[in-house]
């Protein structure tokens, strides 16, 4: 980096504002990949994506192409998607089944499903050379660490830092809440996902997720349209409109309602948005679901689980999770001004089909690329990044309630629902990662 403000990472982040180069500078982006995304725990996928031996799913961790694969012994491995011979990618497809082994399409080197080298063609021609079948240099390289929490697989490309559960800290609630809502205590991923490339920096996406001021502004027109239809249905039928309309009409809530929410900041940059959903109507579908929960958990434990009113969890730096509706968005940065997001949803094992349909409705109506809700956000992400790339000013303001949010034992709680605590909290973690080389 040059000798200007970009030369000092700490000078880019102040308690109530952030320099625009944090979002736009390609050299800073390269450092983010090196010090954050390739040196901390990043979501790879869900175990249900690779149910059988040989099943694989390819993805990115930072700049690194990776393969999640289930081996013959049932263990899930995460390997670099690279043949150690000449560097060819071994799995060019998004997902599939590789059979008993990986086989390179270039020179037919073959590898076991754990990445160990099995055989090479014309092996006799390697005699007398430094090639050694048992040397790990000639095996597929594994991720430094791989751990799974309740079926959600994470990998870390560095040996430094805490284990997965310690790293996740308060963000464990995202996976506990989602899985606990399943009568059988597990979820299963629904293939396939929506994939979008946003013309903006990855941090802009994360900052938007817990911003409680923007929904009733950005999504007002969509919310009002849904509300009008909702009222018309109730007027004509005398019955409440289907719950799916509320997913959009909720965006008409006035500011004071959003201000009753609560945001929290946990160690390592994770954040939560408490409240908002309240998805417990007394319709036959919900009653059938609650009966299934009572059967597996008992009434008292069921009430504890369904009483968790947690709308949104940010797992820094890679996930946005809406556990009550079984939604997950994975963040895969591509460049300073390009971000791939994968939008997944899940089935609650043991729950009635109607409960899955609620998740599917939200998936299509709010999180799909075709919905106006997503289109509104994508447009503002692009506007923000374009404006930040200009010379119209150097700083991004995070002043709302700055210095007012209490901190107890390293956990921050917002003093108002619309506090910009999540933005400040994530940028503090960003600074720590960037200046500590990602060793957290």
The 10s digit of each residue's pLDDT in 35-74 is 999 999 999 999 999 999 999 999 999 999 999 999 999 9
pLDDT level of residue 407 (50, 70, 90 thresholds): very high
Which residue from 341, 314, 346 is spatially nearest to 330, judged by alpha carbons? 341
- Region 177-195: what's the mean pLDDT? 96
**What pLDDT shows up at residue 346?**
98
Structure tokens at 263: 């945001």
**What pLDDT shows up at residue 440?**
42
Q: Is domain 169-212+259-435 classified as CATH 3.90.380.10? A: yes
- Region 202-209: what's the mean pLDDT? 97
- Region 173-199: what's the mean pLDDT? 97
**What pLDDT shows up at residue 277?**
59
Fold category of 42-149 in CATH: Rieske Iron-sulfur Protein (2.102.10)
**What pLDDT shows up at residue 278?**
59
pLDDT at 28 over 70: yes
pLDDT level of residue 338 (50, 70, 90 thresholds): very high
pLDDT at 148 over 70: yes
**What pLDDT shows up at residue 143?**
98
**What pLDDT shows up at residue 439?**
42
Task: Give me the chain's average pLDDT, please.
Answer: 94
User: Which is more confidently placed, 104 or 247?
Assistant: 104
Find out whether 281 and 255 touch, Cβ atoms under 8 Å.
no
- Region 164-172: what's the mean pLDDT? 97
pLDDT, tens only, 237-294: 999 898 889 899 999 988 888 888 899 999 999 999 998 655 677 889 999 999 999 9
**What pLDDT shows up at residue 353?**
96
Q: Where are the domains of the chain?
A: 42-149, 169-212+259-435
User: Which is more confidently placed, 377 or 309?
Assistant: 377
pLDDT level of residue 89 (50, 70, 90 thresholds): very high
> Percentage of the chain surpassing pLDDT 90?
89
357 vs 365: CA distance, rounded Å: 12
């Amino acid at each position: 980096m040059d000798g200007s403000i970009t030369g000092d990472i700490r000078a880019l982040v102040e308690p109530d504002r952030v320099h625009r180069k944090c979002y736009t500078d390609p050299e800073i982006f390269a450092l983010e990949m090196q010090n954050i995304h390739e040196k901390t725990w990043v979501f790879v996928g869900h175990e249900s994506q690779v149910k059988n031996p040989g099943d694989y799913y390819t993805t990115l961790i930072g700049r690194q192409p990776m393969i999640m694969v289930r081996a013959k012994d049932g263990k899930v491995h995460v390997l670099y998607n690279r043949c150690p011979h000449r560097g060819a990618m071994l799995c060019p497809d998004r997902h599939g089944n590789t059979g008993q082994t990986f086989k390179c399409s270039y020179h037919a080197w073959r590898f076991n499903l754990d990445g160990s080298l099995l055989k090479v063609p014309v092996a006799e021609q390697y005699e007398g050379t430094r090639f050694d079948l048992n040397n790990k240099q000639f095996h597929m390289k594994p991720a430094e660490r791989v751990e799974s929490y309740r079926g959600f697989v994470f990998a870390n490309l560095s040996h430094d830092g805490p284990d997965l559960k310690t790293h996740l800290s308060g963000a464990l609630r995202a996976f506990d809440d989602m899985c606990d809502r399943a009568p059988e205590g597990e979820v299963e991923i629904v293939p396939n996902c929506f994939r979008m490339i946003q013309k903006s920096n990855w941090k802009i996406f994360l900052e938007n997720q817990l911003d409680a001021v923007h929904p009733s502004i950005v999504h007002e027109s969509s919310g009002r349209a849904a509300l009008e239809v909702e009222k018309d249905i109730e007027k004509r039928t005398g019955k409440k409109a289907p719950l799916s309309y509320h997913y959009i009409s909720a965006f008409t809530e006035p500011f004071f309602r959003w201000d009753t929410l609560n945001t929290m900041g946990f160690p390592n940059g994770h954040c939560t948005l408490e409240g908002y959903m309240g998805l417990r109507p007394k319709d036959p579908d919900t009653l059938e679901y609650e009966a299934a929960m009572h059967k597996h958990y008992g009434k008292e434990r069921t009430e504890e689980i369904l009483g968790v009113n947690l709308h949104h969890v940010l797992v820094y730096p890679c996930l946005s999770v809406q556990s009550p509706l079984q939604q997950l968005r994975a963040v895969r940065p591509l460049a300073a001004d390009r971000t791939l997001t994968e939008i997944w949803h899940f089935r609650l094992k043991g729950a009635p089909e109607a409960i899955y349909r609620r998740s599917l409705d939200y998936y299509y109506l709010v999180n799909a690329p075709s919905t106006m809700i997503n289109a509104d956000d994508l447009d503002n992400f692009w506007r923000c990044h374009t404006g930040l790339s200009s010379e119209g000013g150097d700083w991004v303001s995070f002043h709302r309630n700055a210095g007012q949010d209490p901190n107890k034992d390293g956990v921050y709680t917002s003093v108002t629902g619309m506090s910009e605590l999540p933005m400040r909290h994530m940028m503090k973690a960003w600074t720590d990662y960037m200046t500590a080389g990602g060793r957290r």
